[in-house]
Amino acid sequence: MWSKKGYSGESTGVEELIDSALGIPAIVAGSGRGVFEEVGQAQSDLGRFIVFACNDVSVFVPRLDHMVSLHTPKLAMWAYLRRDPTSKGYGNKDFRVHDAGLYGVELWHQWKGLKPLMALSGLFAAQIAYLLGCDPIVLCGVPCDNTPTFWQLDGVDNPHYAKHSRMLLDECDRVPEFRRSLRSMSGLSQMWLGKL
């Protein structure tokens, strides 16, 4: 077991990553509509940064340092698509892959038993960025509201967003240093955390 910065988890080797990116700004790209514009604006504002991208968005962002998902059964496919030599337009092929170890052992970084584990891949990626020591952590396409995803035509009526929003607020109260490092480019999360 490891325990650092208000979090704990099983020893799977990820503890060696903790504080490995101290003070480096992070961009977390989720699936919310406008994510690509928000990432572009954050990149312009930050200058130096590392990118954590979630789920299917991680295939398409121009730069990727960390691919993150709670949807492990799809993660191998997204990593393959990003690394496929015929997909030259998708940007760099050298990146780290992370999941929560919910579906068995994989050959990438697994944050198995992370407590507490945020229920949205974008918020899970923010947790990883925080544990790596990134500051600030800028949420792009992680509005924590009913904003449609980048590929949806219309909004969704998803009752789970209220739970996810409450989880983010509770976690920010529980770990004030996590809250202090977070900013957001849109939605309710921007209202709560402030803009970059």
Model confidence pLDDT, tens digit, residues 48-90: 999 999 999 999 999 999 999 999 999 999 999 999 888 766 6
Cα 7 to its chain centre, rounded Å, is 16
Q: Please indicate, yes or no, if residue 26 is contained in any of the structural domains.
A: yes
Q: Please indicate, yes or no, if residue 27 is contained in any of the structural domains.
A: yes
Cα Rg of the chain (Å, integer): 15
Region at 42 (left for phi over 0; alpha for psi -120 to 50; beta for the rest): alpha
Q: Please indicate, yes or no, if residue 1 is contained in any of the structural domains.
A: no
Specify the number of domains making up the chain. Answer: 1
The tally of CA atoms less than 13 A away on the side-chain side of residue 90 is: 21
Q: Please indicate, yes or no, if residue 159 is contained in any of the structural domains.
A: no
Cα 154 to its chain centre, rounded Å, is 23
pLDDT at 89: 61
- Per residue in 109-148, pLDDT (tens digit) is 999 999 999 999 999 999 999 999 999 999 999 999 888 8
Q: Please indicate, yes or no, if residue 8 is contained in any of the structural domains.
A: no
pLDDT at 146: 84
pLDDT at 159: 65
Q: Please indicate, yes or no, if residue 39 is contained in any of the structural domains.
A: yes
Token pair of 27 as six digits: 């961009």
Range of the domain at 88: 15-151+166-193
* Alpha helices in the chain, H assignment, sequence order: 35-46, 57-60, 72-83, 121-131, 160-174, 176-181, 187-193
Q: Please indicate, yes or no, if residue 124 is contained in any of the structural domains.
A: yes
Question: Which amino acid does the sequence have at 21?
Answer: A
Region at 50 (left for phi over 0; alpha for psi -120 to 50; beta for the rest): beta
Q: Please indicate, yes or no, if residue 35 is contained in any of the structural domains.
A: yes
